[in-house]
Amino acid sequence: MFETLAAVSFLLSLLAVAALLAARAREVRANARVARLQEQVDRIAAHVGMPVEASPAGAASRDMVPGSMVAQGPSAEAIALYRSGHRIDAIKLYRTQSGVGLAEAKVGLERAAAVDASTAEIAADPAAPVPVTTTPDRPSDGRSLFT
């Protein structure tokens, strides 16, 4: 009887530890996503000449992400390599510079190259119309379904 009670309490302890570890992993992933999104906002703001405001108190920041998971994003050299077709070399360079994993490096470079490409198109012709994205609540002509 006493052995059964000890075994049950041990299993409950393991379950609690597993739940805590899973919650911590979700928190780290969420912080990394917030940091990536903040970096994208900073790049866009810098491109259009808006001053980047300091984060409000309590807001997530890049410092919350452990290690160099988010760091500064891919370097201009890595992005140039990626966009010129030398994707493996670009991924190797980015991984060496930042210490991120293979999948993170690939996704980071894809996103950075896409952001650079879209900002280059905007910079080339700032008067060009911005394409309207069609979504279920927005027809292709830009009208809202709710107006």
Considering its fold, how many domains does the chain have in total?
Answer: 1
136: in domain: no
Task: Please check the confidence at residue 12 and state whether its pLDDT lies above 50.
Answer: yes
141: in domain: no
104: in domain: yes
Residue 10, CA distances (Å) to 3, 7, 20 in order = 10, 5, 15
How far from chain centre, in Å, is Cα 33? 4
The model's pLDDT over 30-51, given as tens digits with 9 standing for 90+, comes to: 988 998 998 888 888 888 877 6
93: in domain: yes
Q: How far apart are CA 81 and CA 6, in angstroms?
A: 59
Q: How far apart are CA 57 and CA 39, in angstroms?
A: 18
Phi and psi torsions of 113, nearest 5°: -65, -40
The model's pLDDT over 43-96, given as tens digits with 9 standing for 90+, comes to: 888 888 776 665 444 444 444 444 444 446 788 898 889 989 999 999 999 888
Task: Please check the confidence at residue 7 and state whether its pLDDT lies above 80.
Answer: yes
79: in domain: yes
Task: Please check the confidence at residue 111 and state whether its pLDDT lies above 70.
Answer: yes
91: in domain: yes
131: in domain: no
Range of the domain at 69: 11-49+65-123
